[in-house]
Structure 1
Amino acid sequence: MKFSDGYWLLREGVTAAHPAQVLDVAETADGGLEIHAPARPVHGRGDLMTGPVLTLAVHTPMPDVIGLTLTHFTGEPPRRPVFALTGADPRPELSHDDEHVSLTSGALSVRVARSGPWQVEFLAHGRVLTASGPQGMGIMRDAATGGHYLREQLDLGVGSAVYGLGERFGPLVRNGQAVDIWNADGGTATEQAYKNVPFYLTDAGYGVFVDHPGRVGFEVGSETVSRVQFSAETQRLTYYVIHGPTPKDILRRYTALTGRPALPPAWSFGLWLSTSFTTSYDEETVTSFIEGMRERELPLSVFHFDCFWMREFQWCDFRWDPRVFPDPEGMLARLKAKGLHVCVWINPYIAQRSPLFAEGKALGHLLRRPDGSVWQWDMWQPGMALVDFTSPAAREWYASHLEALLAQGVDCFKTDFGERVPEDVEWSDGSDPERMHNYYTYLYNRTVFDVLRGHRGEGEAVLFARSATAGSQKFPVHWGGDCEATYASMAESLRGGLSLGLSGFGFWSHDIGGFEGTPTPALFKRWLAFGLLSSHSRLHGSSSYRVPWLFDEESVDVLRHFTRLKLRLMPYLYEAARTAHEEGVPVMRAMVLEFPEDPGCAHLERQYMLGPDLLVAPVFSDEGDVSYYVPDGTWTHHPSGRTVTGPRWVRERHGFLGLPLLVRPGAVLPVGAHADRPDYPHADGVTLRAYGLTRGAQVTVRVADVTFTVVREGDTLRASASEPSAPWALAAGDRVAHAEAGTGFLTLDLPEQDRW
């Protein structure tokens, strides 16, 4: 929310109270600090008789993370829900003198001035990362609405860029933007977002997480252009400053605090095919799609049934429409016999005609208004209500219906919706409606994910979720929502995915070809290349099918080419997935995440790194013209072997079977021996392809349970395998050395062109 009228004035009706000085400081039982700061200087006892006084609690949940809690009135009861955070033993250090009081956690310190103007500084290794100066932190009141807000403003250094705040579809760099953390079903073409996360990351060595699950307003270098402002309507507000120093380090610490993604099963990385939304389909249609894919040698891993697997006006009743699917168990068994996994669409809403509406109403499982009536409206489904996931009994009731589907043979769920959550309601656990609006999706997706994890086992659970908030990254995968069948929408989808990755989410997908409308054959083929070089890959639309032969025969060739490419890259991609699971670093990475020291990467949003070593630049034109930036070093086009040396911009034209896909210099890329499915033994027959290793370089690569080490000695590569139970190979350029099963060492003389 904006409070000012230019630099000098406040908006009409707005009043502000800012901490003026430190009155006193006390150490807390958890090793933190409690500071009382009156809103005007204290010159005598007469100044101690009126307020307000802001209480500032300084604490640390883990090394290199420091939290500040601002409190005005302490009389209100605790408000739910709260984000589930994980801490560690931080062992903070406190220091006091006449000038400052400070707390240090790891390499990060916060320093509060005890004399002179109000100043809170965050430092690392003696360098100020950011600070809150006079009239930054404050209590803001709006007479027109009666609103009471707590606000903070943190300095933004010259040239510093801000990223994150969830999946946002505008420019990747947030500077100059006003962002409301408020989940909405707004498509991919507006400032609204399905996945709002009150966390931003900078390229200046720190990130900030605002620990408030409700509406938080961010003014990123917009209201005050040299500061990031955030505010919430509350009496108590906590935020954490997270030290890096690199963007990857910031993400590692942020996800250690809020949770890291589960590791999706390997089969989920293959191609997903959908019925689409409002198209007409039955088992015969589904079978024709699957057989069409098989006949054309198009590897398929997952088949998805969208909304109309259930009867109209009865979403959700979790019952197959008997008019078109009279034998669901038999159909699912037939699909499973073809080696497919099955996904079905669900949402958290219960339509009035669903048999579950009366049942849920009688049991008290549906969200109610303050007068005790069930909250309902007609948008999306006539008379629909929401499941009250704050109730353990309601969660168990909802989960029981999913269990029945899993018993039939369903493998996973597309958890759609969860954004349109009302405020004129009463939750069963007494949660505050404003705070529950964003948090609802967390409870919804956690409920479904827990069912899958309990039924399928650890490592087999996967969702296809649309809505999210902080912490929802624990329940992958998330997809980008309702995009249009245009190049502009393809680009905005990519921006959203990269922004989500910079907000702690490890896995992301999108509707290949666009959801609304039908793509042209050219657009469809360009989107296929982008989609198959994403974390997860799904063919899905609204009113038209997405099987490639309905576009043209070349689309079949393009889909086959890029699907097989992705499947051969599975040894590499699944290790990138492990990194997302273990460290919180996403599979699809904005260029700034890998190259924070390169100013040329700060604003790049039409290309990305897929894992640590592959640069992908999707093509956004029929003609195939593409411009992309190459960071320092000699990069190699995969699979052609052509090289390009950066740092520089490159312009190229690509046919539909190509796009810029470059391997980072000094990388060893594990390439699999199979191109028919994603869940094969990745180390069996793997080829380690070395690119531009300098003399003396040593690279370690993990593939499944095997660790490979490749060393360049002079003009020779030497490789070793920790557990050589299967055949493997070492390659550079056009030279390949093969090892039989049980062979732990290989050597390879480099080709002449690779001896630079």
Structure 2
Amino acid sequence: MSRKLQAGSASVFFRHSRGGIPVSSSRASVVVLTSSGLHVRIEPMAPHTFHVRMNRTGCFEEPSPLARLGVVVPSLAPVCWETKMREEEMGVSTDSASLRVDRSSGELSLYGEAGTLLTRQNRPPRAGCGTPASPGAAASVSDDGFETQFALAAEERIYGLGDQHGTPLMKRGCKIAICFRGGNEVHAPVPLLLSSEGWGLLMDTDRRHEFDVGCSSPDVVRIRGRRGELAFYLFAGGGLAGLLQKYMELTGPTALLPVWAYGLSFNCNQQTTARDMLEDALKFRREGIPCDMIGLEPTWMDRQFDYDAPVDWHPDRFYIPQWLPKGAHTFMGALRTAGFKLTLGLYLRDDEAGQQRNLPEDWYDYLKPFVAQGVLGFNLCTKIPVREMANIPVPADDSSDDAESLPHSTVVGRSIREGFAAQTGRRPMIYTPIGYTGIQKYAAVWSGGRSDAHLSVLGLGLSGIPHMAVDMELHTAAGIHCGFFQPWSKVNSWAYWRHPLLLDPELLRTFKSYARLRYRLLPYIYSAAHVAARTGLPIARAMPLVFPDDPHAVTLQNQYMFGDAFLVAAFTDRVYLPAGEWYDYWTGEKFAGPAEISYRVPKHAGGPLFVRSGAIVPMWPDMEYVGLQPADRLELHLYPGGAGEFALYEDDGITFGYLRGELTVSSIACRDDRRVFGVELGARVGRYPGMPDRRTWDVVVHALDKPAAVKVDGQAWRETNGSRKERPPASWSYHKKTGTLRMLVPDVVERPASLRLEIVRSGGRDVRRMSGRQRSQPKPNGSRRTAGELEKDIEVGLDTGSTAKALSALERWWSVRMAEAGSVVDVREHWLAMNGLFVRTAERKGRTLHEIAGGDPLLRSRFQPTDSAEDAFNSLVQIAARIIEYGKRQGDTYGIVRQATDIIKSEIDRELSLHAIADRLHLNSSYLSRKFKQEIGLSFSDYVLEKKMGLAKELLQAGSTVVTAAERTGFKDASYFNRVFRKYWGVTPGGMRSLE
């Protein structure tokens, strides 16, 4: 027998009886009473989600715990489902899944859309009495808690369950206590379990319980609780990302933070005063370090806030004259003028016995005066550090369950968010160190410094909490690297002194570089945050989320994807690159995956960072805080080698208008068929208050050789010289040394269709065929370097006397050039170009090529161009070898100069003086100066300046900021760098950066 039902239809009740087992049903649920006396209620919440409740009384209190807390939201769409009765079981089916219950034992089996078994209980569940039939009535059966277990497949992987110190991302083999006290250090216990076999489970309880995930018995996951009924949500189908989206549909969307909260936040020392706080803030501005949010510990108030009475600013530390408490003259007004947003610390309510009490309904009223003064967020704190809280034993009596109050911070976060929204119409920034399932709808989560900090971020991302940040480990480059590639970034002084300006100069440069990169990436990060809010897919994505079918990737814990484009490795020099092509962000080198590499981190970086081919990365211009400049000009960085898509989400960044549809979405897609790299710039769809009507896309295409043509909407654009000061319309430029193409593409709101960009690669005949002779080409080595980069390698090899480096780079350079050559004219052009490089090298040594050739008539003949590609290449090899041989014949003098130039090239980002390098080489500075001039043809200072200015120009034309270019070339003072650069090149750094 079967009966179709639809939620929202008229109430229908019916009763079946098979073998003495009664079954009852309503429009929303069906209840089975098993032969063992267990009442099993099944309610389809969505086509893929079932709510299961079991107890021994048949009385199911409404609403259930997570619904009462507002964690689970009722579905607005009706769910069509039907029941089917068989001999020993009853099934509840939707279009996407079915749940079958054994009418004798109460065991459940979950099936997917295709009828595939996803999971099953492999022993009868045990459940307590639940709620008595009427208030005050005693339960007829003693409440002995609940227990259930589900079978695990041999290769099944389990994720989720929140953040607990000392556990891996994959939880199989672990025992996880869903509590704060009496267990391991835990910030956010989330009773959400996600399986690689396509099913998920969320426990419906606010009491302490435990998951034993294949720890005691390797082939089962066991769930136990001391009190109450057994209740949970089961959802079916899809990979981990799909399961997270189903969880989000069940619980509601994640809170989108204000756009400025995705920048950098700084928490002051707990003993700070208003003057100290302003000094901390102004240090960021004086040093040009971007930062938006500045926070105070709970010591800002005149007494401890107990939620029952008002508090005020501390009269000594934060004095505000009562006759004029608001305005630009206050310390809060000064912060606003400098672009900072203030957050205040609040202790979560907790009495001396460790039992958290109910909150007064109107307690948010005590915060309203501070919000009216300009406070934009709150930091929820625990009086007892989480690390110590974990060591507090749980009492053996029954009151311990209620003392835990797992959802407490969720309730506080919800009250603040709703109160702040009603008062201001804006989104607050709320962040808490502890939370329970549902906290993601109201607040972000943070934790203090700990080993393997990134595992907390990734673990909560796999548990439905995408906004997790760990205090940045400020005193290591690796800690800075990881700290800036989190969903939100936080430097926390607390009881210490962790201001970036207290770092040593090397780390300070690293910190500045990462902070500026973070702010340039904000449109990319904010778009990923929109995706997280809507689908649950976190900003920082563990490898199993993105590469579930790669058996090597799913085991990795020290690397993750940051949005769609970036692969971040944290605290490791071993990197695994999944299938596809990958760009080293720091060096531009290209690698082919799958491959595992040993990575050497560049001096200016703190860890490996790769960009996948096909990536589309929008960037803002440099700014010190969000809102400093309008978003009417964006850079669009494109990485060829594969197909890619990106949706750019934009809104006003501060209000809840995005929930009402006040936002724009720009869809961008790229494709690459190896001959044409095409880009579709979709029109902006939607509107929001304050949006710019016009926009300019500064398109930057990476790792290309010079293209044959560039077209926009089918119209060919003309090439312009990259050194031109003004950018003509409908033009593009190519920067050989950086291997990047740049073009300005105007955009307007009213544009109805996509803009089409086509970069046509040079793909002529293989010139080697014209000579009738062939030369073997170098085999791919996992990376693909541009011709400009290879020219640098050739120069370094010639200058340092490294024959292997120079000739290897020369062979690869010739292969790249011949791949794009279409005639003998091209062969001669490339041959002449390389000879120009040889001439410059010889001149630096104070010689000419003919002097270096000496009396060798055969070599002199090599200075004449030839039509044969092979002969041309052979002549270049011989000339390069003679240059190196000549240098080596100069003896110790050339060796000394070579050591000096090596130091200059490797330490170009530092201040370089003749005396310092002479001391390092144990030489007299006058002697080194004389030999340097003799061999290089330039004075030491002129040579250093030439190298610094050359690198600065490359950086600026590749899109670097003026400040970054100054730092990367060893100038501490940006204004002095401006003067030197203008004198050398005849144009300001800003002017050079805007050149085509």
Per the normalisation by structure 2, the TM-score is: 0.61
**1:565 is matched with which residue?**
517
Conserved? CA contact 1:73–1:235, under 8 Å? no
Query: Cα distance, 1:245 vs. partner?
Result: 1.0
**2:875 is matched with which residue?**
none
Q: State the AA in 2 paired with 1:404.
A: P
Alignment of 1:643 with 2:595, yes or no, is no
Alignment of 1:476 with 2:443, yes or no, is yes
**Equivalent of 2:211 in 205, 218, 221:** 218
Q: 1:402 to 1:739 in 2, by over 3 A?
A: same
**Equivalent of 1:129 in 102, 105, 118:** 118
**Equivalent of 2:80 in 91, 111, 135:** 91
**2:176 is matched with which residue?**
179
**Equivalent of 2:636 in 688, 707, 710:** 688
Which is helix-richer, 1 or 2? Answer: 2
**Equivalent of 1:289 in 280, 286, 296:** 280
**1:408 is matched with which residue?**
373
Q: State the AA in 1 paired with 2:34.
A: A
Alignment of 1:29 with 2:17, yes or no, is no
CA offsets 1:232-259 (integer angstroms, 9 cap, x no match): 2234221121113111111111111122
**1:358 is matched with which residue?**
none
The DSSP-based 3-state class of the residue aligned with 2:743 is: strand
Query: Cα distance, 1:682 vs. partner?
Result: 7.9
The DSSP-based 3-state class of the residue aligned with 1:304 is: strand
Query: Cα distance, 1:337 vs. partner?
Result: 1.2
**2:414 is matched with which residue?**
446
Structure 1: tracts of 5 or more residues without a match = 1-20, 40-52, 351-374, 380-384, 425-430, 484-488, 514-518
Q: Which stretch of structure 1 is more off in the superposition, 645-654 or 528-537?
A: 645-654
**2:428 is matched with which residue?**
461
Q: State the AA in 2 paired with 1:334.
A: A
CA distance in 2, matches of 1:106, 1:660: 45
CA offsets 1:254-295 (integer angstroms, 9 cap, x no match): 111122211111111111111133xx3222222222222212
CA distance in 1, matches of 2:539, 2:103: 45
**2:683 is matched with which residue?**
722
Q: Percent identity over the alignment? A: 21
Q: 1:76 to 1:506 in 2, by over 3 A?
A: closer
Q: Which stretch of structure 1 is more off in the superposition, 712-721 or 609-618?
A: 712-721
Q: State the AA in 1 paired with 2:645.
A: V
Alignment of 1:502 with 2:470, yes or no, is no
Query: Cα distance, 1:312 vs. partner?
Result: 6.5
**Equivalent of 2:615 in 667, 672, 696:** 667
Query: Cα distance, 1:139 vs. partner?
Result: 4.9
Query: Cα distance, 1:347 vs. partner?
Result: 1.6
Alignment of 1:597 with 2:545, yes or no, is no
Q: State the AA in 2 paired with 1:736.
A: R
1:55-74 counterparts in 2 under 5 A?
55-74=39-58
Q: State the AA in 2 paired with 1:730.
A: V
Q: 1:650 to 1:60 in 2, by over 3 A?
A: same
**2:581 is matched with which residue?**
634
CA offsets 1:602-629 (integer angstroms, 9 cap, x no match): 23221211112211112x3xxxx51122
Q: Which stretch of structure 1 is more off in the superposition, 313-322 or 201-210?
A: 313-322
CA distance in 1, matches of 2:375, 2:265: 14
1:293-372 counterparts in 2 under 5 A?
293-311=284-302, 318-327=311-320, 329=326, 330-349=330-349
Query: Cα distance, 1:58 vs. partner?
Result: 1.8
Query: Cα distance, 1:728 vs. partner?
Result: 0.7
**Equivalent of 1:112 in 98, 101, 113:** 101
Query: Cα distance, 1:66 vs. partner?
Result: 1.6
The DSSP-based 3-state class of the residue aligned with 1:692 is: coil
CA offsets 1:664-721 (integer angstroms, 9 cap, x no match): 2322222223343344678532233222354xx4635324225143343751324334
Q: Which stretch of structure 1 is more off in the superposition, 215-224 or 447-456?
A: 447-456
**1:709 is matched with which residue?**
668
Query: Cα distance, 1:639 vs. partner?
Result: 4.9
CA distance in 2, matches of 1:703, 1:67: 34
Query: Cα distance, 1:122 vs. partner?
Result: 0.9
**2:361 is matched with which residue?**
395
Q: 1:61 to 1:423 in 2, by over 3 A?
A: farther
The DSSP-based 3-state class of the residue aligned with 1:740 is: strand
Query: Cα distance, 1:579 vs. partner?
Result: 0.6
The DSSP-based 3-state class of the residue aligned with 1:407 is: helix
CA distance in 1, matches of 2:84, 2:287: 70
CA distance in 2, matches of 1:386, 1:136: 35
Query: Cα distance, 1:178 vs. partner?
Result: 1.1
Conserved? CA contact 1:57–1:68, under 8 Å? yes
**1:740 is matched with which residue?**
746
Conserved? CA contact 1:266–1:679, under 8 Å? no
CA distance in 1, matches of 2:302, 2:380: 18
Q: Which stretch of structure 1 is more off in the superposition, 119-128 or 249-258?
A: 119-128
Which is strand-richer, 1 or 2? Answer: 1
Conserved? CA contact 2:144–2:227, under 8 Å? yes
RMSD (Å), alpha carbons: 3.1
**2:844 is matched with which residue?**
none
Query: Cα distance, 1:30 vs. partner?
Result: 2.5
Q: 1:512 to 1:318 in 2, by over 3 A?
A: farther
Conserved? CA contact 1:25–1:33, under 8 Å? no
Per the normalisation by structure 1, the TM-score is: 0.79
The DSSP-based 3-state class of the residue aligned with 2:372 is: helix
The DSSP-based 3-state class of the residue aligned with 1:300 is: coil
Q: State the AA in 1 paired with 2:54.
A: L
CA distance in 2, matches of 1:649, 1:217: 38
Alignment of 1:244 with 2:237, yes or no, is yes
Conserved? CA contact 2:623–2:629, under 8 Å? no
Conserved? CA contact 1:272–1:303, under 8 Å? yes
Conserved? CA contact 1:132–1:154, under 8 Å? yes
Q: State the AA in 2 paired with 1:511.
A: D
**1:511 is matched with which residue?**
471
Q: State the AA in 1 paired with 2:145.
A: Y
1:528-543 counterparts in 2 under 5 A?
528-543=480-495
Q: Which stretch of structure 1 is more off in the superposition, 232-241 or 251-260?
A: 232-241
CA distance in 1, matches of 2:619, 2:436: 35
**2:197 is matched with which residue?**
204
CA distance in 1, matches of 2:40, 2:630: 52
Structure 2: tracts of 5 or more residues without a match = 1-17, 130-141, 651-663, 685-692, 703-739, 763-783, 787-815, 820-996
**Equivalent of 1:550 in 495, 502, 505:** 502
CA distance in 2, matches of 1:213, 1:98: 36
CA distance in 2, matches of 1:299, 1:747: 33
CA distance in 1, matches of 2:677, 2:458: 38
* Largest Rg, 1 or 2: 2
The DSSP-based 3-state class of the residue aligned with 2:537 is: coil
CA distance in 2, matches of 1:182, 1:342: 32
Query: Cα distance, 1:101 vs. partner?
Result: 2.2
**1:15 is matched with which residue?**
none
1:420-435 counterparts in 2 under 5 A?
434=402
**Equivalent of 2:163 in 162, 167, 191:** 167
Q: State the AA in 1 paired with 2:163.
A: E
CA distance in 2, matches of 1:310, 1:294: 27
